[in-house]
Structure 1
Amino acid sequence: MDLSQLPYRTLAIVRGTDRDAAVRTVLTLAEEGITAAEVSLTTPDAFGVIEQARRELGPDAVLGAGTVLTDADAARSADAGASFLVTPGLVPDLATELPCLIGALTPSEVIAATRAGALAVKLFPASHGGLGYLKALRDPFPQVPFLPVGGVDAATARAYLAAGAVAVGVGSPLIGDAASGGDLWALRDRAAQWRHELAEAVAE
């Protein structure tokens, strides 16, 4: 799994209050060209959402589970068809063979995440330090693939990518209320705008 090759270098974070709406959100994003998605386990029946989306999208879809906190979460996510896991912070000795995006904020946490074999370090919450903080972290960790998450909109996404982030994770600025039963046409409009805003940054 090469995060730098994600369409628009974007990982959509689907977190909502309605199971069926969350499935529709993942499928609509895929139709709109944003094909990498993480389903947060805080979503009702998140494992069922992943399982159904996997059936609809096929075995090669970049579909993962987010907010993974325990070995049981990891195992059930794998059984549901997740191809990667995302944690909000360090989860010591997480038992899984799936690639993991491990949440970290401080330099010590970045070191721990990389030693744990993180596919990428999920810089969370990225809004805590913003662009300047990512740039500061990249000085001592130039080889670490960072994926900023938290408060990421199109403008900050472009800036993070320009500063060396491998990709970005985006939630509500893209998803809106779609995963809680909101308007899917509005989601399509936001997805189209996101593609427009990120196309030039990704091409650079």
Structure 2
Amino acid sequence: MNTLSSILENKLIAIIRGANPEDVVSIAKALHEGGVNMIEITMNSPKALAGIEAVKAELGNQVLVGAGTVLDAETARAAILAGAEFILSPTIHLETINMTKRYGAVSIPGAFTPTEILAAYENGGDLIKVFPATLGPSYIKDIRGPLPQIPLLPTGGVDVNNIKDYLKAGAVGCGIGSALVNTKQKITAEYLEKIAEKARQFVVAVTSDN
């Protein structure tokens, strides 16, 4: 299964932002233990490239690792060479999209308005990160009305209580930040188990029929 198909099947991308470099692999393992196998390491985190390399070395094909908060093409290239299989940006940056596609990775640019979302898709975005998704599931439903062909990945404001609503509204998946991994917490063995349990809760929310 290729990267895009895996994202569409799993529907959950866990965002690790600002973690201490020595904690990234432990966090990734906790997420994997809980059933979340799509992991985004943001490029504004300390030693982000080393974190991507370390997770790939430790977990291999058990997880797919992407780079987030990618603002330019050279950062996208560096992240892909470090092992990133998908690239997320908070905005539409055409050179970043083009570089990502040139290297065969999945491009997930960020957009918000219908005009931006269409532009991101027409310029090569494989999935469009609707960011921030704080207007709620009804906004995703409204966007899907005139633009049903565009796969939307809301990020920012998604939690275990509303993720099902986002999916019912037509989202193909969601990016989950501090509702799943809060790197301001001290990363202890106890907190890693909490991450694994939260991951399980998200997986149940996504896969249950209720």
TM-score by length of 2: 0.88
> Within 2, Cα distance between the matches of 1:18 and 1:67?
17
- CA-to-aligned-CA distance 1:76-133 (integer Å, 9 cap, x gap): 1011100110001111222232211110001111111011111101000000x21121
SS at 1:147 equivalent: strand
Count of residue correspondences: 199
Corresponding residue of 1:15? 17
- CA-to-aligned-CA distance 1:118-161 (integer Å, 9 cap, x gap): 1101000000x211211111111001000000010012210010
- Any runs of at least 4 consecutive aligned residues in structure 1 with deviations exceeding 3 A, and if so which? 177-180
> Within 2, Cα distance between the matches of 1:178 and 1:30?
20
Q: Does 1:157 align with 2:159?
A: no
Any gaps of 5 or more consecutive residues in structure 1?
A: none
Native 8 Å contact 2:34 2:197 kept in 1: no
- CA-to-aligned-CA distance 1:48-88 (integer Å, 9 cap, x gap): 00001011121463110000001121111011100110001
Native 8 Å contact 2:137 2:166 kept in 1: yes
Native 8 Å contact 1:101 1:119 kept in 2: yes
> Within 2, Cα distance between the matches of 1:148 and 1:36?
15
Native 8 Å contact 2:163 2:205 kept in 1: no
Corresponding residue of 1:148? 154
Once the two structures are superposed, the pairs formed by residues 1-204 of structure 1 within 5 Å of their partners are 1-2=4-5, 3-6=7-10, 9-59=11-61, 61-94=63-96, 95-96=99-100, 97=102, 98-127=105-134, 129-177=135-183, 181-182=187-188, 183-201=191-209
> Within 1, Cα distance between the matches of 2:21 and 2:39?
15
Structure 1 residue 180: Cα displacement = 5.8
SS at 2:162 equivalent: helix
TM-score by length of 1: 0.91
Native 8 Å contact 2:129 2:154 kept in 1: yes
Percent identity between matched residues is: 34
Amino acid at match of 2:124: G
Any gaps of 5 or more consecutive residues in structure 2?
A: none
Structure 1 residue 195: Cα displacement = 2.5
> Within 1, Cα distance between the matches of 2:185 and 2:50?
14
RMSD value over aligned CA atoms?
1.8
Q: 1:111 to 1:197 in 2, by over 3 A?
A: closer
> Within 2, Cα distance between the matches of 1:13 and 1:154?
14
